[in-house]
Chain A
Amino acid sequence: MSAGRWTVAPAGGVEPTVERTERHPIVTEADVVRVRQIVRNLAVTAKMSLVDQTKMVTAASELARNTLVYGGGGSMTVDIVDNGRRRGIRAVFVDSGPGIPDMDLALTDGWTSGSGLGLGLSGSRRLVDDFAIESSPGAGTTVRIVKWSR
């Protein structure tokens, strides 16, 4: 790992995909709302419980806003995945913004580089089962989250 490049876990999807959707742009606030609806619909299709749906949609909302506000816009892809035992929802958020210079700091509760509460990354990480982030200064940020049905 080169200096300045931080990876908590590989951001490439490894779970077999069952149902794929197209890439959804995140360039306006309306897109953030749309992302919530798209993730909700897919979570319903995957027969996720209401609490898990709510956690996944909330995590997606946080990450979509990060993509828009800190990443300067980007996109999300969301798929239904299957690991042989359980189904789940995987969402990947990609931006080509300034990147995250200090990942440990960015994942700290309450720390924010902007005007938010600093719960976007740390909070959404707690809401999902798998969380991976890849970012390097100047090369943007990719966040991948997976939530499995119980």
Chain B
Amino acid sequence: MDRIPILKMGNLLLVSIQVDLQDQLALALQDDLSERIVATGARGVLIDISALEIVDSFIGRMLSTIAALSRLLDAETVVVGMRPAVAITLVELGLYMPGVRTALTLEHGLALLGAEVRVRLPEDEALVDLDADSAEVTDLGAGAAPNGRSALTEGAWSG
């Protein structure tokens, strides 16, 4: 059977659901995610559902279960990218997914988790390296380096 890929990024796990979910696939994702949280010691789980055209009560329950499971395993779950039509439908359906945190975009989701679990993203390390490099470049008269650096710094903090 197919599996939904789970990507590790720092101490986060990233899942992007890109297929029309069959029930068994949703159940398999629950199991796989809890195993990966324990195996990797992940502190956060980001689930991107921007490709999902509908979330029915089964998929909604899967998201609630994943959030509850991950909390027991000391990780926080954020569901990102819900389509407006899906949100309207969920409310009318009466499915409020208690315990599931949401964010509009992947970036917001990362910020939400970053604030709580102090994620050190690979970008932070890249920034340190870049600073060291550009300090040398500045000596050679590359005037654009300070500007480029401050833009990067802002990006890193706002993200």
Contact = CB atoms under 8 A, between A and B. Distances in A.
A55 B56 CA distance: 10
A37 interface: yes
A126 B93 contact: yes
B111 interface: no
A123 B94 contact: yes
A117 interface: yes
Tell me the interface secondary structure of chain B in the complex.
helix
A50 B54 CA distance: 11
Nearest to A40: B53
Given A57-B54, A119-B93, A126-B94, A37 B60 contact: no
A54 interface: yes
B54 A123 contact: no
B57 A116 contact: yes
A58 to B, nearest CB: 5
B108 interface: no
A143 to B, nearest CB: 15
Contact of B89 (A36, A51, A117): A51
Chain A CB within 10 Å, residue with most, of B21, B53, B56, B60: B56
Given A40-B53, A55-B89, A119 B20 contact: no
24 contacts: A29-B22, A32-B23, A36-B20, A36-B53, A51-B85, A54-B83, A54-B85, A54-B86, A55-B89, A57-B54, A58-B54, A58-B89, A61-B56, A61-B58, A62-B93, A65-B56, A65-B58, A109-B94, A116-B58, A117-B60, A119-B94, A119-B95, A123-B92, A123-B94
Interface of A: 29-30, 32-33, 36-37, 40, 50-51, 53-55, 57-58, 61-62, 65, 109, 116-117, 119-120, 122-124, 126-127
Interface of B: 20-24, 53-58, 60-61, 83-86, 88-89, 92-95
